[in-house]
Amino acid sequence: MIGGHDRTILRDLAKRAAEIASLPVMAERRELWKRHNALERTRPMILVSPEGGWRELLPEESLVCEDERARQIERTLRRRIYVHEGLGDDSVIECEWIVRKAVRHTGWGLEPRFTASSAERGAWAFDPVILAPKDLGKLKYPEVIHDEAATERNLDEARELFGDILEVKLRGVSRIHFHLMQLYCKLRGLTQVMMDMIENPSMLHDAMTFLEEGHQGIVRQYDEMNLLNLNNDGTYHASGGNGYTDELPPDDFDPAHVRPADMWSSAEAQELAQVSPEMHWEFSMQYESRLLEPFGLNGYGCCEDLTLKMDDVLKIPNMRRISISPFADVEKCAELLQDRCIFSWKPKPQHLVGDFNEEMIRDYIRRALDATRGCIVEMVLKDTHTCDNHPERFTRWARIARELAEQY
């Protein structure tokens, strides 16, 4: 158990987080998100996700806890507080501390290999482990494992530390995102996957069939082991947004057993950004569509440009949120999507780097909002790997976005 110096710090941070969670604006935002996720036209919603930029907003040297486990908790709480005090987006801070059940699976039988970059934070290269069709035989279906003893230890620690300040909640598996092509490219190599689409399509189909069956097996095990958890709350969904909704779970919900039909899920295939709509559907989206079908509400996409693939995305059952990447044609996507799904727009994160031009950012956001007047819009600033050590840029960007959102 965490004690002494670290315990005092963490409890003080938890108290501040609880104060923020009790503010009336949090209830207002929660209801606004529910309306937004129900495809009701509200003002555009705003989320700012610093991601890689957190190392500049809250550098490691700013943490004061001594124990490494305590520092992990401190980091989480300080980020929660910073989101409210320093970002000013539409994030909802809840008066809770989530303990995740200690769930893992045994893997796919092969481990990816990479060649590291010589530059700090540089890009790694693929080092394929699947070199020929026979290597697909080395793949195995994952087996799900729940370490119940670890779950109880973690729950006891949280209750002892925060039980009188935050609502300690035990959660099972609440985030189910399918990344089939990402997984296979890590094993086969991105360049070779591109070649296989032309030279060896049957091998690629065999691989995707195996991964689809394997993921179906993972979800089935979650279901049979009663490990699934509702995510109709602030749980992060797809590549942006959250799960606040009154539409899930449906009327036949059994509180004792959460099913896929009671949950959000999502999928993406960023690796196929440059392939045709036909190839994207053939080699990835058809497999993802079958995986998503059992879920109550779904999202699709991340950084891939879906402008020319929107019709196929809309064929996926229960589609509700579609990622409109920084590379997409906002006007064309708006014409195609209208108010059929959430227009989850990802503005360019590079605007936080170099010359921070507020007028240019204002014009850029205004043009997007003009083009999406008939859509259900959210602006999600993400993939922000750096802000050039100017943390205030996140705040200024969010302020500009909010001013414009209020006008629309």
Q: How confident is the model at residue 393 (pLDDT cuts 50, 70, 90)?
A: very high
Mean pLDDT (the chain) is: 97
Using CA atoms, how far apart are residues 115 and 126, in angstroms rounded to an integer? 6
pLDDT digits (tens, 9 = 90+) for 38-81: 999 999 999 999 999 999 999 999 999 999 999 999 999 999 99
| C-alpha–C-alpha distance, residues 268 and 341, integer Å | 16
Q: Provide the angle, in degrees to the nearest 10, between the axes of the packed helices 4-21 and 148-162.
A: 80
Give the pLDDT score at 324.
98
pLDDT of residue 1: 75
Q: What is the mean pLDDT of residues 267-282?
A: 97
Q: Is residue 388 pLDDT above 80, yes or no?
A: yes
Give the number of residues written for the chain: 408
pLDDT value for 294? 98
Statement: residue 310 has pLDDT above 90: yes
pLDDT digits (tens, 9 = 90+) for 123-162: 899 999 999 999 999 999 999 999 999 999 999 999 999 9
Q: pLDDT tens-digit profile of 331-379?
A: 999 999 999 999 999 999 999 999 999 999 999 999 999 999 999 999 9
Number of domains in the chain: 1
Query: Per mean pLDDT, which range of 34-38, 217-221, 235-239 is the poorest?
Result: 235-239
Phi, psi angle pair for 168, to nearest 5°: -85, 120
Please give the average per-residue pLDDT across 291-315, as a whole number.
97
202, 203, 206, 212 alpha-carbon torsion, rounded to 10°: -110
What contacts 29, CB < 8 A, 6 or more positions away? 90, 91, 92
Res 120 pLDDT > 90: no
Tens of pLDDT, residues 154-209: 999 999 999 999 999 999 999 999 999 999 999 999 999 999 999 999 999 999 99
Band of the pLDDT at 392, cuts 50, 70, 90? Answer: very high
What pLDDT score was predicted for residue 195?
Answer: 98
Q: Rounded to an integer, what distance in angstroms lies between the CA atom of residue 361 and that of residue 400?
A: 8
pTM of the model: 0.95
Predicted local confidence at residue 239, as pLDDT:
86
Q: What are the contacts of 71-77 at 24+ separation with CB within 8 A?
A: 73/2, 73/10, 73/161, 74/6, 74/9, 74/10, 74/13, 77/10, 77/13, 77/14, 77/16, 77/17
Instruction: Report how far residue 376's alpha carbon sits from residue 334's, in angstroms, rounded to the nearest whole number.
Output: 10
* Host H or E run for residue 371: helix 358-371
Q: Per-residue pLDDT for 236 more than 90?
A: yes
Tell me the two tokens of residue 50: 């610093």
- Look up the domain containing 99 and give its range: 4-407
The whole-number pLDDT of residue 189 equals: 97
Predicted local confidence at residue 279, as pLDDT: 98
Domain containing 170 — which CATH number?
3.20.20.210
Grouping H, G, I as helix, E, B as strand and the rest as coil, residue 200 is coil
